[in-house]
Structure 1
Amino acid sequence: MNIFEAWAKKNKKYSFNELIRIESIWINNFKFVEYSENELGVEINFKEANLVLLNGPNGYGKTTTFEAVELLLTGDIKSFNSTLLNRGNISKSILANNPSKDIKITAKLVNEKGNIITIERCIDCKYGCTSTKKVNEEECTEEYLWQLLKFNKSIFDIGMYISQKESLEFLEKKYGDRKSLILGILDSSNIQEKSEFLKDFEKKVKSSIENNLRAIYYADEIEKIKPKVDILNNIKNVDNMLKERKYSDAIAVGKLVGISIESITEIEISLRRYNKLLTDLKSNERYRATFITNRKNLIGFFNKNIKNNNFDKNVCPLCGNTSMELERLFNMTERVLKENNTLLEKDVDLIKDKIEKYFDEAECINEKAKFLNNTEYKLYLELEKLININISNLTEEKEVMTELKFNNEKDFASENFDNEYSLFKLNIEKEINRLGERLSEKEVKDYENLIDKYYKNGINHKEVDINNKIAFIADKYSTGYSKQISIEKKKLQDRNIEYEKVKNQNKLAEDTVKEYRKKYDAAFKAYQTNLVENIKIPLYITSGKIIQNYPMGLGINVDIKDKQVIFQTDNKEDDIFNYLSMGQLNGVALSIMLSIRSTIDFNDGLDLILIDDPLQSIDDISAFSFADVLVDSFTDSQVIMSTHESDKSDLLEYKYRQYNKSVKVLNMYERYINS
């Protein structure tokens, strides 16, 4: 670390409130300047001179110095054309003396009190020419650098720097682009932030209105839907109850229809056994198939080794025992496996037959019933209806059903069905008679007199009375319904009042914000227009002084419209770019830069004017007038200018010394020869 770097690290942060000048600049690995690893690079010292003149022949670093300053302050070189290729773009890495190394530009700046700040920009030529900025060795953003030095890109392009290659670049722009560039010198970031804030606020107000309207609408809709949701939940609960029914419910139903619990349980157990045996059978079949495959592979391997005389055919390959019947033993093993599987299949078939027997018995009964005579079949149907009797009132009937219980386990014989059925009928008739005797004569008589007791001697209702009753009920219903309608209407009115209130409040807020934003934007637009208007008089005077020998009048007028800026002479309405000479246009370009500077406050920040040899194309009178304007109006500005014409260099030096201003002349050719 050199003394300069150590000092910069010690003095890290400064907020300049005075004019700032560039004291020195170091160029490393840029154009003809070679790469230096341990040094900052080639130094160009401007000291504290008001005017720095870079002179000497072309090709010895004058433009390189200006472009190094431009690259340091803006991160770009305006005259660099990356689109010359038919396809693709040219990289800035071609500006490096050694493209494998970084371009590095460093500057030391000082203010009126002697406070110093260092700025460094490093261009990574290997990876996309990315730019790294440092202020006092701490990385920073472009915006921070510009804020620190109190300028922006537009101010630099049209208010600080006129390059040799792009001296007429501003005048070549379209009318609309000219105004945009001039307006760009304003630091409008704060104004734009406020405008964006107002736009966002306006959107939020509109969104709030929509949300409030939705809330009012959906509040009523939700109330209407709630009962339907409750009904749906009840349906889901019932559905879940049906899905979660257990087998115990089947037992309860079985009692009602006369099927014994033992029969249901036996069927259930048989089904479980049947399913388990099926699973075991499939599993055994898989194991047997695997075993047989492995056995065949083993026998094949065994026979192969017998042929190769590795094994004896009568010696077991597994245990090593000698047996003359080894092949027969292998076959017995396979037969045992098959027999084991056959036993399982027989068990499955037995269980399956037993299950099917229950269903065959029931089917047989149905077939027999078809051959019963008409009378008996009707009697059977009547008896079948007894199944639906409410079991809570049938304590005695339970005993009867127990006595008449059908034993499912008894072997069924179709030839005994008629006898069994006749006996069953007789038993039923006996039980019916027994139950009938329990009703007393008084109870039977009371039953027969029910109609006479309650209706025969009662009030005789006429049709008129019934109609009146219907009308009365309808009136009561209508009254209740009308009351409900009134309540709902009141709710609707309240909602409408609430809606109108919210709507009016939000409309007022929205209109207020919109009007405020319009006025704000209009004021900013007027401010921008006033800025351009303020350039008119300085430009007319300055251009009149610099190109005073022009036969069509002494000054350049500015025609400012909503979206364009046109430069005209007194006698023509066309833009000057198409009919003035190169020297005159350069004089106008210098006049525009100086006029714009006259509208900007440079009381603090970087007060710098960079002019790279545009004087070569203007005549001596214009050069003399320009020198007068420059030294008279921009006394405190730091001016760095280049020219290869010694007479114009001497003229500028003389004018500045006449005003007792410091001048430093750097002959770039001599520096190159002596380096």
Structure 2
Amino acid sequence: MLKLKKVYIENFKGISSTRIINFNSSDLSILNGPNGFGKTTVFDAIELCLSGKLERTMQFSNVQKNTQNYRKPFYQNTAGKNVVLKLLFEDSDNGSLHTIIKFLDKDHNGKIGNSKSFRPDAWGILDTYYSTDDSLFESELNTSVTEKISQLQIDKLFFDDQSYSQANLYPLFNYLQQEENIYFLKKDEEEKKAELDFLFQTQEEAKELERLTKICRELKSIQDGLSEKISLLGESANSGETQVYLRLIPSKELVYDVEQPFKDISSDNLPEVYNAYQKELLILEEFIAAFDPEEYQLDKLREAVVYAIDNDQILTAFLLQSLNQGKSFEVLQELSAKISLYNNHIESLQHNQFEVDVLKQLNFSQEFIDSYRASIADSATQERNIGEIGRIISDLNQARNSTLSKSRELPAEFHDADNCPLCNTSFSSFETLEVAVHAKTQALLSFNREQLINFETSKQDITTNFRLPVEERITAFLNAEENHLDKDFYTLLLEYRGFTDRIRRFQAILTQGKLNFDEFIITKPVSINIFRELLEKLKAALMGALAKIVPDQNKLIHKEIFKDVFVEDVNSLISLAEVKNKQLYVEYKYNEARLYSLNILAERLVKFKELEVKTSRIKSSLSLSIKRYKMEMIEKIKIPFYLYSGKILQNYQQGLGIFIDMQENTSRIKFLTDDESDHDIIHHLSSGQLAVVSIAFCLALNKVYETANHFKFLAIDDPVQTLDDINIHSFIELMRHDFSDYQIIMSTHEDDIASYLSYKFQKFHFNCNTIKVQRIFYGE
């Protein structure tokens, strides 16, 4: 059997350094010391290591809102230091040792997922370790060499049945808290039932019962759905007189105009689809009854005219259609090209350039063209010569003047004063030499001027005899009335080359409506301003015609059908009788589909009802079995609980003990003072008496269930605090007689009570150990 030998506490609650409590495997250990000096701390350390949480903290979780971050856990004494708790157990059957460790790393951020830091209920931040080496128990924890385990593995150490857990059983079986030892009695009837369900080990049966209940609900829901569908489809009826299928509109695929219009329609959608079909047929019927093709054409004409009035593109294309067709456009295109060519040619003539083809187009003779070309060539030659001779003369004059100037600067002894420095010709004097040089310079300049005059004369002859006649003929062509072509108008013409089909449709509508606006069609180029005037006149004419186009709208109900369904083909129109026949056919097919669906749904409804009856029968049987089993289990608890509560209470004036009552229908649990009362004891007993009942209930559970045969352990925090002397005596007698095989740890703040407890248990040969908590924790 497992017995607790030692408890190791480091940086936990009021304990800052390392402290070890040694129970020495005693049968009874009494934690003695003043309140506030660590007795409950020991119990908390044991509970936290075994169950992974403190039940007291979980009960008070609603006291504080967990909407903020906390600096450190409430149980960590000093921030920045590890929290370490250890329990050392010895198995007396085989001598094995087991150490359970809870560890909080000093560097942990205190968060679980996205939660706030160090919430009071954040037990998941603690790591759990396990060791079988007791030599390391009092040493500092080395997590790198210690096995990390889960709460499930701790449960396996204490329970053979893996459905048990310390988290659920420890607060109920093993630990009675100070002040809060009546927490189970405070729970409502449903909560008591739920907690005892765990003891009864009916969880799997309860899950199966819940599953069957859910199945019954689903089966009922399915039946309701089927009934609703049947109701929507209406009462079962014959499909009526047989109707023959005839295609109503061969040119158009319509969903209702097929042999099986409800083929792929679910029963849920049958009424909706049928109503949609009949609505479409009703609209078609209204259309056929009222429709007049002539009024439709008139309405179409009106729409076209209105559209054209509001759309300058259509009207512009209409006005330009003649010029944009065939040879008319080609002539204009050729004229535009010729105008552009001639304008460019005038510019070329300024630079003595011309094209022979252009001159031929202007009807100049070949002789004229040849003379023109020869004159330009002669002029070009003169221009080149003038440039060359002028440069030579200029260079000669500059060289002569430079030589004379330098000659003057030389001393007399270096030249013959009467000889020319250029040709050494002898002159009578130097002055005579200078006069001769000047005369030669003037002669050269005179020759250059004569050449320039001849060149200018040549240029003038070209202008007068050739260029001007060509320009005059070009100008005459451009100024001719038949050759006028407004640039903006021609650009507009090019822009509307691609509107042929739209114009053809518009023209066809006008022709069908006997409207003629051909007088506005432009047959020869005009200025852009005249075009704009014509556009406005055409609009005005259309407005006038529009006033006279008044179709009868009563004959155009649902007129869009003629286009969408009958493709505006009068010959495709059908009769009212044909529409009526189609309505009858659709109704016939609907009733046929409805009847089929009703039969299917009715069959399903019967099957689901049968299935629900069978499932309900199984559910009721299972529920009854669970209730009977629970009643049997409660019956097992009733007698020990009644005896234990009676023994401890002793002088309770309303009876000898407390009854447990379970309601057969609901399995709810109540504690009653006697069989005549149906009020829970929470309304009758004092807090001290309730504490006695809680102790008695815990002892009864241990006696009846023995969930862990190899771990018989009771931890009771200050049990005598709310008991009077008689209750204390009775409690001690009960404990030492009926629970002599349990390891018991109690606490008290009174020295005489500790001595009394030790005395009473030692008389029955209990191995007792009184632990002075204040001295161990604080050295006082």
TM-score by length of 1: 0.52
Distance 1:199 1:181, change over 3 A: closer
Q: Does 1:601 align with 2:713?
A: no
Secondary structure of 1:120's counterpart equals strand
Distance 1:651 1:31 in 2: 30
The Cα shift of 1:30 comes to 1.4
Secondary structure of 2:267's counterpart equals helix
The Cα shift of 1:81 comes to 5.8
> Is 2:197–2:203's contact at 8 Å kept on the other side of the alignment?
no
Secondary structure of 2:16's counterpart equals coil
Q: Does 1:42 align with 2:19?
A: yes
CA deviation string 1:183-202 (max 9, x = no partner): 56455553454345445545
Partner of 1:216: 267
Query: What letter corresponds to residue 506 of structure 1 in structure 2?
Result: F
Q: Does 1:52 align with 2:20?
A: no
Partner of 2:596: 494
Distance 1:503 1:611, change over 3 A: same
Secondary structure of 1:52's counterpart equals strand
Query: What letter corresponds to residue 155 of structure 1 in structure 2?
Result: L
Distance 1:590 1:476, change over 3 A: closer
The Cα shift of 1:606 comes to 4.5
Q: What are the residue-to-residue correspondences of 1:414-453 with 2, within 5 Å? A: none
Query: What letter corresponds to residue 648 of structure 2 in structure 1?
Result: I
Q: What are the residue-to-residue correspondences of 1:123-162 with 2, within 5 Å? A: 127-129=117-119, 130-131=122-123, 132-136=126-130, 145-146=154-155, 149=158, 150-162=164-176
Query: What letter corresponds to residue 542 of structure 1 in structure 2?
Result: Y
Secondary structure of 1:167's counterpart equals coil
Distance 1:216 1:545, change over 3 A: same
Runs of 5+ unmatched residues, structure 1? 1-18, 36-40, 230-252, 272-348, 360-380, 386-405, 413-472
Secondary structure of 1:615's counterpart equals helix
Distance 1:43 1:269, change over 3 A: farther
Partner of 2:15: 33
Partner of 1:101: 81
Q: Does 1:508 align with 2:610?
A: yes
What's the C-alpha RMSD, in Å, of the aligned pairs? 5.6
Q: How many residues align?
A: 455
Distance 1:217 1:670, change over 3 A: closer
Secondary structure of 1:119's counterpart equals strand
Secondary structure of 2:7's counterpart equals strand
Distance 2:582 2:677 in 1: 90
Partner of 2:743: 638
Query: What letter corresponds to residue 156 of structure 1 in structure 2?
Result: Y
Distance 1:142 1:407 in 2: 99
Partner of 1:61: 38
Distance 1:498 1:574, change over 3 A: closer
Query: What letter corresponds to residue 544 of structure 1 in structure 2?
Result: G
Distance 1:546 1:258, change over 3 A: same
Distance 1:564 1:91, change over 3 A: farther
CA deviation string 1:454-473 (max 9, x = no partner): xxxxxxxxxxxxxxxxxxx9
Secondary structure of 1:134's counterpart equals strand
Distance 1:265 1:100, change over 3 A: farther
Partner of 2:645: 543
The Cα shift of 1:595 comes to 1.7
Q: Does 1:120 align with 2:101?
A: yes
Distance 1:352 1:64, change over 3 A: same
Query: What letter corresponds to residue 119 of structure 1 in structure 2?
Result: I
Distance 1:673 1:208 in 2: 70
The Cα shift of 1:500 comes to 1.8
> Is 2:129–2:147's contact at 8 Å kept on the other side of the alignment?
yes
The Cα shift of 1:542 comes to 0.9
> Is 1:270–1:355's contact at 8 Å kept on the other side of the alignment?
no
Partner of 2:773: 668
Q: What are the residue-to-residue correspondences of 1:525-536 with 2, within 5 Å? A: 525=627, 527-528=629-630, 530-536=632-638
> Is 1:100–1:125's contact at 8 Å kept on the other side of the alignment?
no
> Is 1:616–1:645's contact at 8 Å kept on the other side of the alignment?
no
Q: Does 1:554 align with 2:656?
A: yes
Paired-residue identity, %: 22
Partner of 2:723: 618
The Cα shift of 1:165 comes to 2.8
Distance 1:81 1:166 in 2: 11
Distance 1:509 1:351, change over 3 A: farther
CA deviation string 1:410-460 (max 9, x = no partner): 999xxxxxxxxxxxxxxxxxxxxxxxxxxxxxxxxxxxxxxxxxxxxxxxx
> Is 1:102–1:125's contact at 8 Å kept on the other side of the alignment?
no
CA deviation string 1:206-260 (max 9, x = no partner): 677789869434479779989999xxxxxxxxxxxxxxxxxxxxxxx99x99984
Distance 2:734 2:103 in 1: 37
CA deviation string 1:486-545 (max 9, x = no partner): 776555433332222222223333444455445545544554455445432212111222
Query: What letter corresponds to residue 101 of structure 1 in structure 2?
Result: K
CA deviation string 1:476-495 (max 9, x = no partner): 99999999987765554333
CA deviation string 1:105-125 (max 9, x = no partner): 222345444455443334568
Partner of 1:446: none
The Cα shift of 1:138 comes to 5.8
Distance 2:334 2:713 in 1: 105
Distance 1:265 1:53 in 2: 124
Partner of 2:346: none
Query: What letter corresponds to residue 75 of structure 1 in structure 2?
Result: K
Distance 1:519 1:153, change over 3 A: farther
Higher gyration radius (CA): 2
